[in-house]
Amino acid sequence: MRFEDFHGVDELIGRLKRETGSGDPVHAYLFCGPVGSGKRSLARICARALNCDSDGEKPCDLCGSCRRYLAGTHPDHMELSDQKIIKVDQVRDVIQWLATRSFEGGRKTVLFGNADAMNVQAQNALLKTLEDPPRDVVIFLTAEKPTSLLPTVLSRVRMMRFSPLSQSGCARALEKLGIEGARAEQLAEVAQGSVGVALKLDRDEGFWRMREQVLEALEGIRGPGDVFRAAEGLKAYKGADVRRVLDMMEQIACAKMEGEETGRHSGYERIGLSGCGLLEAVMEARRMVERNVNWQYALETLLFSGLRAAGLRE
Protein backbone atom coordinates (compact mmCIF):
# COMPACT_ATOMS: atom_id res chain seq x y z
CA MET A 1 0.00 0.00 0.00
CA ARG A 2 0.96 3.61 -0.52
CA PHE A 3 -0.22 6.96 0.83
CA GLU A 4 -2.38 7.26 -2.30
CA ASP A 5 -4.39 4.18 -1.31
CA PHE A 6 -5.95 6.08 1.58
CA HIS A 7 -8.98 8.01 0.46
CA GLY A 8 -11.34 10.24 2.33
CA VAL A 9 -8.72 11.20 4.93
CA ASP A 10 -6.85 13.64 2.70
CA GLU A 11 -5.94 16.12 5.39
CA LEU A 12 -4.44 13.49 7.67
CA ILE A 13 -2.53 11.82 4.84
CA GLY A 14 -1.28 15.15 3.49
CA ARG A 15 0.14 16.04 6.86
CA LEU A 16 1.82 12.69 7.36
CA LYS A 17 3.30 12.82 3.89
CA ARG A 18 4.78 16.24 4.55
CA GLU A 19 6.15 15.32 7.94
CA THR A 20 7.69 12.02 6.96
CA GLY A 21 8.87 13.12 3.51
CA SER A 22 10.54 16.29 4.74
CA GLY A 23 12.21 14.41 7.56
CA ASP A 24 10.48 16.50 10.21
CA PRO A 25 8.23 14.08 12.03
CA VAL A 26 7.10 14.23 15.63
CA HIS A 27 8.62 11.56 17.88
CA ALA A 28 5.44 9.53 18.36
CA TYR A 29 2.25 9.03 16.44
CA LEU A 30 -0.90 7.27 17.55
CA PHE A 31 -3.31 6.13 14.86
CA CYS A 32 -6.75 5.31 16.21
CA GLY A 33 -9.58 3.67 14.34
CA PRO A 34 -11.55 0.48 13.86
CA VAL A 35 -10.08 -2.85 12.84
CA GLY A 36 -9.31 -2.94 9.15
CA SER A 37 -9.08 0.81 8.68
CA GLY A 38 -5.45 0.54 7.61
CA LYS A 39 -3.78 1.98 10.70
CA ARG A 40 -0.85 -0.41 10.67
CA SER A 41 -0.36 -0.19 6.94
CA LEU A 42 -0.21 3.57 7.25
CA ALA A 43 2.32 3.39 10.08
CA ARG A 44 4.51 1.12 7.96
CA ILE A 45 4.27 3.49 5.00
CA CYS A 46 5.34 6.37 7.25
CA ALA A 47 8.24 4.34 8.62
CA ARG A 48 9.41 3.51 5.09
CA ALA A 49 9.09 7.15 4.05
CA LEU A 50 11.25 8.25 6.97
CA ASN A 51 14.19 6.13 5.87
CA CYS A 52 13.58 6.15 2.12
CA ASP A 53 16.64 7.06 0.03
CA SER A 54 14.69 8.42 -2.93
CA ASP A 55 14.92 12.08 -3.94
CA GLY A 56 11.35 11.96 -5.22
CA GLU A 57 8.16 10.64 -3.70
CA LYS A 58 8.64 8.83 -0.43
CA PRO A 59 8.39 5.95 0.19
CA CYS A 60 9.55 4.91 -3.26
CA ASP A 61 9.28 1.21 -2.38
CA LEU A 62 12.23 0.59 -4.70
CA CYS A 63 15.33 1.73 -2.83
CA GLY A 64 17.29 -0.65 -0.64
CA SER A 65 15.83 0.73 2.57
CA CYS A 66 12.21 0.50 1.36
CA ARG A 67 12.80 -3.03 0.17
CA ARG A 68 14.20 -4.11 3.49
CA TYR A 69 11.15 -2.64 5.19
CA LEU A 70 8.84 -4.46 2.81
CA ALA A 71 10.70 -7.71 3.33
CA GLY A 72 10.53 -7.25 7.10
CA THR A 73 14.33 -7.27 7.39
CA HIS A 74 15.15 -3.62 8.03
CA PRO A 75 17.62 -3.55 10.93
CA ASP A 76 16.32 -0.21 12.20
CA HIS A 77 12.67 -1.18 12.37
CA MET A 78 10.97 -3.17 15.06
CA GLU A 79 7.39 -4.24 15.32
CA LEU A 80 5.27 -5.56 18.14
CA SER A 81 1.95 -6.56 16.68
CA ASP A 82 -0.68 -9.24 17.12
CA GLN A 83 -0.03 -9.75 20.80
CA LYS A 84 -2.86 -10.21 23.23
CA ILE A 85 -0.94 -8.53 26.03
CA ILE A 86 2.20 -6.43 25.77
CA LYS A 87 4.09 -6.69 29.02
CA VAL A 88 6.54 -4.35 30.63
CA ASP A 89 9.56 -6.56 29.80
CA GLN A 90 8.72 -6.45 26.12
CA VAL A 91 8.49 -2.67 26.22
CA ARG A 92 11.80 -2.49 28.08
CA ASP A 93 13.43 -4.60 25.36
CA VAL A 94 12.17 -2.17 22.74
CA ILE A 95 13.38 0.82 24.74
CA GLN A 96 16.80 -0.72 25.10
CA TRP A 97 16.94 -1.40 21.39
CA LEU A 98 15.89 2.20 20.66
CA ALA A 99 18.75 3.49 22.78
CA THR A 100 21.38 1.87 20.54
CA ARG A 101 22.69 3.57 17.43
CA SER A 102 20.86 3.24 14.18
CA PHE A 103 22.38 0.48 12.07
CA GLU A 104 21.99 2.17 8.70
CA GLY A 105 22.53 5.71 9.94
CA GLY A 106 18.93 6.79 9.45
CA ARG A 107 16.05 6.78 11.85
CA LYS A 108 14.96 3.99 14.09
CA THR A 109 11.29 3.21 13.81
CA VAL A 110 9.11 1.06 15.98
CA LEU A 111 5.50 0.05 15.58
CA PHE A 112 3.30 -1.09 18.43
CA GLY A 113 0.60 -2.61 16.24
CA ASN A 114 -1.90 -2.93 19.06
CA ALA A 115 -0.86 -0.43 21.65
CA ASP A 116 -4.11 -1.10 23.50
CA ALA A 117 -2.63 -4.47 24.45
CA MET A 118 -0.05 -2.74 26.66
CA ASN A 119 -0.88 -3.14 30.30
CA VAL A 120 -0.50 -0.22 32.68
CA GLN A 121 3.08 -1.08 33.68
CA ALA A 122 4.05 -1.42 30.05
CA GLN A 123 2.51 1.94 29.21
CA ASN A 124 4.28 3.55 32.13
CA ALA A 125 7.57 2.09 30.96
CA LEU A 126 7.02 3.55 27.51
CA LEU A 127 6.01 6.88 28.99
CA LYS A 128 9.57 7.72 29.98
CA THR A 129 10.71 7.23 26.40
CA LEU A 130 7.82 9.32 25.12
CA GLU A 131 8.77 12.12 27.51
CA ASP A 132 12.42 12.08 26.58
CA PRO A 133 12.80 10.24 23.27
CA PRO A 134 16.22 9.32 21.91
CA ARG A 135 17.22 11.35 18.87
CA ASP A 136 16.11 10.08 15.47
CA VAL A 137 13.56 7.69 16.89
CA VAL A 138 9.97 7.66 15.68
CA ILE A 139 7.42 5.56 17.52
CA PHE A 140 4.15 4.51 15.95
CA LEU A 141 1.27 3.28 18.04
CA THR A 142 -2.02 2.00 16.71
CA ALA A 143 -5.12 1.29 18.74
CA GLU A 144 -8.82 0.89 18.21
CA LYS A 145 -9.79 3.38 20.87
CA PRO A 146 -7.65 6.07 22.44
CA THR A 147 -9.42 5.45 25.74
CA SER A 148 -7.48 2.20 26.10
CA LEU A 149 -4.32 4.22 26.71
CA LEU A 150 -3.31 6.22 29.76
CA PRO A 151 -4.01 9.95 29.52
CA THR A 152 -0.32 10.57 30.23
CA VAL A 153 0.59 8.51 27.16
CA LEU A 154 -2.05 10.24 25.04
CA SER A 155 -0.71 13.63 25.99
CA ARG A 156 2.73 12.77 24.63
CA VAL A 157 1.82 11.45 21.22
CA ARG A 158 0.30 12.99 18.13
CA MET A 159 -3.07 11.31 17.89
CA MET A 160 -4.68 10.89 14.50
CA ARG A 161 -8.12 9.38 14.19
CA PHE A 162 -9.31 7.27 11.33
CA SER A 163 -12.89 6.80 10.49
CA PRO A 164 -13.27 4.66 7.44
CA LEU A 165 -16.02 5.74 5.11
CA SER A 166 -19.43 4.23 5.49
CA GLN A 167 -20.40 1.86 2.71
CA SER A 168 -22.48 4.53 1.01
CA GLY A 169 -19.73 7.11 1.45
CA CYS A 170 -17.32 4.67 -0.16
CA ALA A 171 -19.72 4.08 -3.07
CA ARG A 172 -20.06 7.84 -3.65
CA ALA A 173 -16.27 8.23 -3.60
CA LEU A 174 -15.99 5.42 -6.17
CA GLU A 175 -18.60 7.09 -8.37
CA LYS A 176 -16.55 10.28 -8.30
CA LEU A 177 -13.66 8.21 -9.59
CA GLY A 178 -15.80 7.20 -12.57
CA ILE A 179 -17.19 3.85 -11.45
CA GLU A 180 -20.88 3.52 -12.30
CA GLY A 181 -23.54 3.33 -9.58
CA ALA A 182 -24.41 -0.36 -9.22
CA ARG A 183 -20.80 -1.45 -9.55
CA ALA A 184 -19.72 1.19 -7.02
CA GLU A 185 -22.31 -0.11 -4.52
CA GLN A 186 -21.16 -3.68 -5.02
CA LEU A 187 -17.49 -2.75 -4.68
CA ALA A 188 -18.17 -0.69 -1.55
CA GLU A 189 -19.82 -3.71 0.01
CA VAL A 190 -17.14 -6.25 -0.79
CA ALA A 191 -14.40 -3.81 0.22
CA GLN A 192 -16.29 -2.97 3.42
CA GLY A 193 -16.07 0.74 2.88
CA SER A 194 -12.39 0.95 1.96
CA VAL A 195 -11.96 2.83 -1.31
CA GLY A 196 -8.39 1.61 -1.73
CA VAL A 197 -9.42 -2.03 -1.38
CA ALA A 198 -12.41 -1.45 -3.69
CA LEU A 199 -10.19 -0.05 -6.42
CA LYS A 200 -7.88 -3.00 -6.16
CA LEU A 201 -10.73 -5.51 -6.27
CA ASP A 202 -12.26 -3.75 -9.25
CA ARG A 203 -9.35 -4.94 -11.35
CA ASP A 204 -9.00 -8.35 -9.72
CA GLU A 205 -10.65 -10.82 -12.08
CA GLY A 206 -9.71 -13.80 -9.91
CA PHE A 207 -11.62 -12.28 -7.03
CA TRP A 208 -14.83 -11.93 -9.06
CA ARG A 209 -14.54 -15.43 -10.48
CA MET A 210 -14.14 -16.78 -6.98
CA ARG A 211 -17.05 -14.70 -5.72
CA GLU A 212 -19.29 -16.02 -8.46
CA GLN A 213 -18.38 -19.58 -7.48
CA VAL A 214 -19.01 -18.87 -3.80
CA LEU A 215 -22.43 -17.36 -4.53
CA GLU A 216 -23.29 -20.21 -6.86
CA ALA A 217 -22.39 -22.73 -4.15
CA LEU A 218 -24.36 -20.94 -1.43
CA GLU A 219 -27.38 -20.17 -3.58
CA GLY A 220 -27.53 -23.67 -5.00
CA ILE A 221 -27.87 -25.38 -1.70
CA ARG A 222 -31.37 -26.25 -0.51
CA GLY A 223 -30.82 -29.62 1.15
CA PRO A 224 -28.18 -32.25 1.96
CA GLY A 225 -28.47 -33.66 -1.55
CA ASP A 226 -26.97 -30.42 -2.92
CA VAL A 227 -23.84 -30.34 -0.75
CA PHE A 228 -21.41 -32.31 -2.91
CA ARG A 229 -22.46 -30.52 -6.07
CA ALA A 230 -22.23 -27.13 -4.32
CA ALA A 231 -18.72 -27.92 -3.08
CA GLU A 232 -17.60 -28.91 -6.56
CA GLY A 233 -16.67 -25.41 -7.80
CA LEU A 234 -14.70 -24.52 -4.67
CA LYS A 235 -12.94 -27.68 -3.63
CA ALA A 236 -9.91 -27.21 -5.90
CA TYR A 237 -8.77 -24.03 -4.11
CA LYS A 238 -5.59 -24.25 -2.07
CA GLY A 239 -3.64 -22.30 0.56
CA ALA A 240 -4.31 -18.57 0.62
CA ASP A 241 -7.24 -18.96 -1.76
CA VAL A 242 -9.01 -21.19 0.75
CA ARG A 243 -8.77 -18.34 3.26
CA ARG A 244 -10.09 -15.94 0.65
CA VAL A 245 -13.10 -18.20 0.05
CA LEU A 246 -13.75 -18.31 3.80
CA ASP A 247 -13.32 -14.51 4.10
CA MET A 248 -15.82 -14.07 1.31
CA MET A 249 -18.33 -16.42 2.91
CA GLU A 250 -17.87 -14.68 6.24
CA GLN A 251 -18.56 -11.31 4.71
CA ILE A 252 -21.65 -12.61 2.92
CA ALA A 253 -22.85 -14.19 6.17
CA CYS A 254 -22.41 -10.89 8.04
CA ALA A 255 -24.24 -8.91 5.37
CA LYS A 256 -27.03 -11.46 5.37
CA MET A 257 -27.25 -11.39 9.15
CA GLU A 258 -27.45 -7.61 9.12
CA GLY A 259 -30.24 -7.82 6.54
CA GLU A 260 -32.11 -10.39 8.62
CA GLU A 261 -31.82 -8.29 11.76
CA THR A 262 -32.77 -4.96 10.24
CA GLY A 263 -35.19 -6.18 7.60
CA ARG A 264 -33.12 -4.37 4.98
CA HIS A 265 -32.40 -5.84 1.59
CA SER A 266 -29.00 -7.56 1.76
CA GLY A 267 -28.79 -8.80 -1.81
CA TYR A 268 -28.30 -12.34 -0.54
CA GLU A 269 -31.94 -13.36 -0.27
CA ARG A 270 -31.39 -16.20 -2.69
CA ILE A 271 -29.19 -17.97 -0.18
CA GLY A 272 -31.35 -20.34 1.87
CA LEU A 273 -28.89 -20.63 4.77
CA SER A 274 -29.31 -18.13 7.59
CA GLY A 275 -26.62 -15.51 8.04
CA CYS A 276 -25.92 -16.53 11.60
CA GLY A 277 -25.82 -20.26 10.82
CA LEU A 278 -23.51 -19.65 7.89
CA LEU A 279 -21.20 -17.50 10.00
CA GLU A 280 -20.88 -20.19 12.65
CA ALA A 281 -20.24 -22.82 9.99
CA VAL A 282 -17.52 -20.64 8.42
CA MET A 283 -15.81 -20.15 11.76
CA GLU A 284 -15.80 -23.88 12.38
CA ALA A 285 -14.36 -24.49 8.90
CA ARG A 286 -11.63 -21.96 9.61
CA ARG A 287 -10.62 -23.87 12.72
CA MET A 288 -10.55 -27.07 10.70
CA VAL A 289 -8.36 -25.52 8.02
CA GLU A 290 -5.98 -24.19 10.68
CA ARG A 291 -5.67 -27.74 12.00
CA ASN A 292 -4.77 -28.84 8.46
CA VAL A 293 -8.00 -30.72 7.93
CA ASN A 294 -8.50 -31.47 4.24
CA TRP A 295 -10.20 -28.49 2.57
CA GLN A 296 -12.82 -30.46 0.67
CA TYR A 297 -13.89 -32.15 3.89
CA ALA A 298 -13.96 -28.82 5.78
CA LEU A 299 -16.00 -27.25 2.99
CA GLU A 300 -18.57 -30.03 2.90
CA THR A 301 -18.83 -29.92 6.69
CA LEU A 302 -19.36 -26.16 6.45
CA LEU A 303 -22.24 -26.61 4.02
CA PHE A 304 -23.82 -29.40 6.07
CA SER A 305 -23.54 -27.34 9.28
CA GLY A 306 -25.08 -24.35 7.51
CA LEU A 307 -28.00 -26.51 6.43
CA ARG A 308 -28.44 -27.93 9.90
CA ALA A 309 -28.49 -24.44 11.42
CA ALA A 310 -31.07 -23.34 8.87
CA GLY A 311 -33.24 -26.36 9.63
CA LEU A 312 -32.91 -27.51 6.03
CA ARG A 313 -31.96 -30.98 7.00
CA GLU A 314 -34.60 -32.94 5.19
Residues that bind Zn ion (CB under 5 A): 52, 54, 59-60, 63, 66
Helix (H) / strand (E) containing 126: helix 120-131
Closest separation between CB of residue 49 and Zn ion, Å?
8
Number of C-beta neighbours around residue 301 at 10 A: 17
Q: 106 or 272: whose CB is closer to Zn ion?
A: 106
φ, ψ for residue 310 (rounded to 5)? -85, 0
Closest separation between CB of residue 60 and Zn ion, Å?
4
Q: 34 or 75: whose CB is closer to Zn ion?
A: 75
Q: 67 or 308: whose CB is closer to Zn ion?
A: 67
* Cα 135 to chain centroid, rounded: 31
Nearest to 271 by CA among 282, 255, 284, 287: 255
Closest separation between CB of residue 73 and Zn ion, Å?
14
Q: 54 or 102: whose CB is closer to Zn ion?
A: 54
Amino acid at 311: G
Amino acid at 63: C
Closest separation between CB of residue 30 and Zn ion, Å?
25
Q: 104 or 144: whose CB is closer to Zn ion?
A: 104
Between the CA of residue 198 and those of 54, 107, 176, 193, 268, what are the distances in Å?
Answer: 29, 33, 13, 8, 20
Using left for φ > 0, alpha for ψ between -120 and 50, and beta otherwise, residue 292 falls in left
Between the CA of residue 24 and those of 92, 112, 117, 261, what are the distances in Å?
Answer: 26, 21, 29, 49
Closest separation between CB of residue 52 and Zn ion, Å?
3
Collect contacts of 297-303 with beta carbons under 8 A, ≥24 apart. Answer: 299/231, 299/234, 299/235, 300/227, 300/228, 300/231, 302/249, 303/217, 303/221, 303/227, 303/230, 303/231
Q: How far apart are CA 275 and CA 265, in angstroms?
A: 13
Closest separation between CB of residue 78 and Zn ion, Å?
19
Q: 60 or 276: whose CB is closer to Zn ion?
A: 60
Closest separation between CB of residue 154 and Zn ion, Å?
31
Q: Which residues pair with 108 in a beta bridge?
A: 137
Q: 59 or 277: whose CB is closer to Zn ion?
A: 59
Q: How far apart are CA 140 and CA 43, in angstroms?
A: 6
Q: 59 or 306: whose CB is closer to Zn ion?
A: 59
Closest separation between CB of residue 134 and Zn ion, Å?
23
Nearest to 48 by CA among 34, 35, 60: 60
